[in-house]
Amino acid sequence: MKKLINLPLRIFRFILFIGFYFKELFVSSILLAWDIVRPYKSFKHGIVGIDIDLKSDTAIIALTNLLSMTPGSLSVELTPDRKRLYVHSMYLEDPEAFKLKVKNTFEKKIKQIFE
């Protein structure tokens, strides 16, 4: 019964998430295009491990796919215990800030929808 009550809320959160994701996609695409046309490249890339709290396979797949679809980032590997996700980012000036952004935006919103 509780799942039926939460369904409209999850659908509403999913619609809000789609808007949020398209904004992120647009901003990262513009940033990446700007770096491609400039002769001087300003990005610092690297791989960072992000501890994730997602439990369901659907939520983990959603997170990894959304990170990989965003220009400038790519999900590289998920540990066998499914607790840490390694992500390559073209714009990794501050690894801790990147981790916090992923946890406080993508992971938090995905958790609200799928778990």
- pLDDT score, position 3: 60
pTM metric for this prediction: 0.80
Residue 2's pLDDT band (cuts 50, 70, 90): low
Strand partners, 78: 85
* DSSP code for 106: I
Distance separating alpha carbons of residues 76 and 10, to the nearest angstrom:
28
Task: Write the pLDDT tens digit of every residue in 44-88.
Answer: 889 999 999 999 999 999 999 888 888 788 999 999 999 999 999
Task: Write the pLDDT tens digit of every residue in 4-51.
Answer: 567 888 888 889 989 988 888 888 888 888 888 887 767 788 999 999
**Strand extents, DSSP E, 61-100:** 73-78, 84-89
Structure tokens at 92: 């990794």
CB crowding 12-30: b at 16 or more within 10 Å, else e: ebeeebeeebeebeeebee
